[in-house]
Structure 1
Amino acid sequence: MKTTLSAMALVLSATAAMADDTVTIEFAYPYSHLFDVTYEAMMPAFKQAHPNIEVKFRATYESYEDGTNTILREAVSGNLPDVTMQGLNRQQILVEKGIAKSLEPFIAKEANFAKEGYHDAMLSLSTFDGDVHGLPFSVSLPVGYYNMDILTEAGVDKLPTTWDEVIGACETMKANGVDNPIFWGWSITGNWFMQALLWSQDKAIVEDGRVKLDTPEALAALEQMQEIFTKCDMQNLEWKAALSSFSAGEIGMMFWSTSALGAVERSQGDFELVTGPFPGMGETPKGLPAGGNAALFTSTSEDPKVQEAAWAWLKFITSGEGAAEVAKTTGYMPPNKAANEVILADFYEQNPNKQTAVDQLPLLRDWLAYPGDNGLAITQVIYDGIERIVTGDATDMKELQEELVEEVNDLLPTS
């Protein structure tokens, strides 16, 4: 009995010591419907490698804009998470305000850091003033999703490569009884599709600190959207409802981020799904904006153990092993050389719908943030303008362009 009690005491002592060694960190990320399954897939390997680190997941952000607004509020209230996922176009404001910390002190302690896949081309997405402030977690590009059963039955025999061909496919489907031929993702975060139409024409939406909405390319983008919305009779669906409707087999064509592919496939009805490259304005796009997010270190803890635990988590989820789960569970591409070249060597060959975005990587351009503290407000102004096209409240695109230019210029920094 003494031996048994002594052994039990040792076990309890060891358990207590392990509990004392446990470090808890807090983590926040967007889009639970896309990423919950990703983090669930990652956790067993992380816990095996780091049994004494507990990751406390905060409530997910609704969108990248919500994520940035939340972090800005939490910085004021002193309630920041240790690690946050933020949109690639929302990092700069957090760096400028000192909320996102430099990762250089952690990187300096790592042996052969570049060998894990974090080469310069990837780190540049999150590098500001020469310092790495985030590790890219996922990269997406816009693609077309096609319900081949609807298209074939309606007499559309090839995937469109231009928006004129998309409109032609819409008209063919409507003539053959398809009520809802298209959803075009105008409402996607960060005016991403507006930037996609501008980059398609090789035009950046921000140049020299100014938002370039007064250009012929910007007018062409507005006119292109109007043609798609009106000639396709697009229903003004909330984006989650649109993704659900497409997954249920009710929409013929959907243009959205490749990021949703995993979610669509998991809820897909009984139809053939094919993805295709993002169509262009009369020709193949000359560029497309890189969507996605990066992991940022925002911990305010001065405890070295918490800091190291936060770095261990941040490093793991963006590593080759972690990034591979991103590709497997979503449609995002992992911006990690080790994931793409080693772990996922045969993955894209076996998953051609996920290969579509990879084939478009040569078109990758920056997803641009709007200058100054009013960047989120500018995003909302452009969003509201596009919504007016969708609802039919705006019919004169030149007039709308002039209104947007005036409103956005009022929000830009004066110096």
Structure 2
Amino acid sequence: MKKYPLRRRTFVLATAVTISLLAGCATENPTARTPNTAGETVNLVYAYDGLFTAPFGQIASDLQSRTGMSVELQLAGNSYEDSLARLQNDLTAGNPPDITMVGLNQVRMLVDAGAAVPVGKFIDSDDEFDLGQYSQNMLDLTTFDGELYGMPNAVSTLVMYYNADLFTKAGLDPDSPPQTWEDVEKAARAIVDSGAATYGHWSDFESVWSFENFLRSNGGSMMDATEKDITFNDTAGVEVLEYWRRMVESGLMPAFGTDDGREAFFRGDVAMTVDSSAQVANYERTAGFDLRTAMLPIPADGQRQAPGAGNALVITATDPERQQLAWEALKAFVSPAGSTTTTKATGYLPVNAYAAQSNEYLAEFLSSDPTRDAVRKQGASLVRWFSWPGERGPAIAKELQNAIYRAVSGEQRPQDALNQAARAASELLP
């Protein structure tokens, strides 16, 4: 198994301790042989009904037709926190899922807890599985201390969607979308002043992941390299919130939440929106205008970094035989056929690079769908989605989310809002 050199992590997650008391699942000697899977059933806990139920159902059906193995799909809820909570409850009951979908920013917690099974041992003895089908930056998302834990299943980046019809109406060139924050601001002003739309732009500032994208492309970070000090309240973070607040204050951007922002864009009230690439298929189905995409605009002197959001499929079974069966099922979901099914049904990046390049799978589909061009191009800028040390990551994210809202809505100065969130986060860190 190829090792992937990574910085050695010296901390232990508190949440991981909670799980590790129950887990004990990283068995070092699973069966090396490929089992007879006919008649076997593997359970897979997942989240997001609207995104994954249909493609997962198709992949499971295809797997059963080929091998006789059934995959029991168990919906935990509509967030990765829901599937993580389900895993914790099932570990407590002594009956963990064979495979669990978790957010890419949650894999590290399971690794430190010993609740995620390294998959290298299965890959080494599997002549049918080709690790070379996956790009290095994709594998890096679930690689820790040189070991691959689970597989990325669906990976998204933040992209800009825009209404080309409104660009034309405002006298802008729809073939030359904004590339920088300054470009966005100028285009938004032209759109509003021309009366083409009520607002020029909307960013999904409710999402802390969205903030991280802007922050990192502005040269900032959530914490320092040692992960001892919080840094999201440094100049780079303040500039992100000042930019969003300036857009709102000048009437170029509404202070809408996620659902309202998307609806305003679909109505034609907003000309440009920055949102997850996972929504590409939804945008294509819903937009009744010339929909186009562009890579995430960055500061004029910035360098694009795209934290890869989305999820991984992690083997969480504790029994060695169940782990081997889980691997046989898991690889179907990230195979060329599985990756094709998920990509076509959503807007996620194809995790299987071979599928993306093969006419048998996705190459023709992707080349015929220009709205996915920006998604593919931005895949080259993938970096790991930041995950907070300790068990209080969701609480920290909530503090930061509230601070972002206070700043963008004008309730608090950006620097003060981020300082307040940083103080609260410091108290929540181990």
Once the 2 structures are TM-superposed, how far is the Cα of residue 116 of structure 1 from its aligned partner? Answer: 5.9
Is 1:226 paired with 2:242? no
Q: Distance in 1 between matches of 2:320 and 2:415?
A: 56
Aligned to 1:399: 416
Is 1:314 paired with 2:333? no
Instruction: Find the partner of 1:38 among 55, 68, 73.
Output: 55
Contact 2:233 2:415 in 1 (8 A): no
Is 1:297 paired with 2:315? yes
Q: Distance in 2 between matches of 1:21 and 1:341?
A: 32
Query: Match of 1:32, as an amino acid?
Result: D
Instruction: Find the partner of 1:179 among 198, 212, 217.
Output: 198
SS of structure 2 residue aligned to 1:151:
helix
Aligned to 1:61: 77
Instruction: Find the partner of 1:111 among 127, 131, 156.
Output: 127
Aligned to 1:149: 165
Q: Distance in 1 between matches of 2:251 and 2:51?
A: 28
SS of structure 2 residue aligned to 1:353:
helix
Contact 2:140 2:384 in 1 (8 A): no
Once the 2 structures are TM-superposed, how far is the Cα of residue 275 of structure 1 from its aligned partner? Answer: 0.4
Unaligned runs of 5+ in 2: 1-36
Is 1:160 paired with 2:178? yes
Q: Distance in 1 between matches of 2:357 and 2:50?
A: 27
Query: What is the aligned-residue RMSD (CA, Å)?
Result: 2.5
Instruction: Find the partner of 1:379 among 397, 400, 403.
Output: 397
Is 1:409 paired with 2:422? no
Check 1:76–1:383 CA distance in 2 against 1; reply closer, same or farther (3 A cut): farther
Aligned to 1:24: 41
Instruction: Find the partner of 2:280 among 261, 277, 296.
Output: 261
TM-score scaled by length of structure 1: 0.85
Query: Match of 1:370, as an amino acid?
Result: W
> Structure 1 stretch 204-213 or stretch 351-360: which is displaced more?
204-213
Check 1:272–1:284 CA distance in 2 against 1; reply closer, same or farther (3 A cut): farther
Once the 2 structures are TM-superposed, how far is the Cα of residue 369 of structure 1 from its aligned partner? Answer: 0.7
Size of the alignment, in residue pairs? 387
Larger radius of gyration: 1
Q: Give the alignment of 1:268-283 within 5 angstroms.
A: 268-269=287-288, 271-283=289-301
Q: Deviation digits for residues 51-71 of structure 1, max 9, x if unmatched?
A: 2x2222222432234433443
Q: Distance in 2 between matches of 1:174 and 1:115?
A: 50
Aligned to 1:389: 407
Aligned to 2:265: 246
Check 1:389–1:115 CA distance in 2 against 1; reply closer, same or farther (3 A cut): closer
Q: Distance in 2 between matches of 1:154 and 1:239?
A: 25
Is 1:365 paired with 2:383? yes
Unaligned runs of 5+ in 1: 1-19
Once the 2 structures are TM-superposed, how far is the Cα of residue 354 of structure 1 from its aligned partner? Answer: 0.6
Aligned to 1:194: 211
Once the 2 structures are TM-superposed, how far is the Cα of residue 338 of structure 1 from its aligned partner? Answer: 1.9
SS of structure 1 residue aligned to 2:75:
coil
> Structure 1 stretch 398-407 or stretch 36-45: which is displaced more?
36-45
SS of structure 2 residue aligned to 1:57:
strand
Once the 2 structures are TM-superposed, how far is the Cα of residue 259 of structure 1 from its aligned partner? Answer: 1.1
> Structure 1 stretch 217-226 or stretch 272-281: which is displaced more?
217-226
Aligned to 2:105: 89
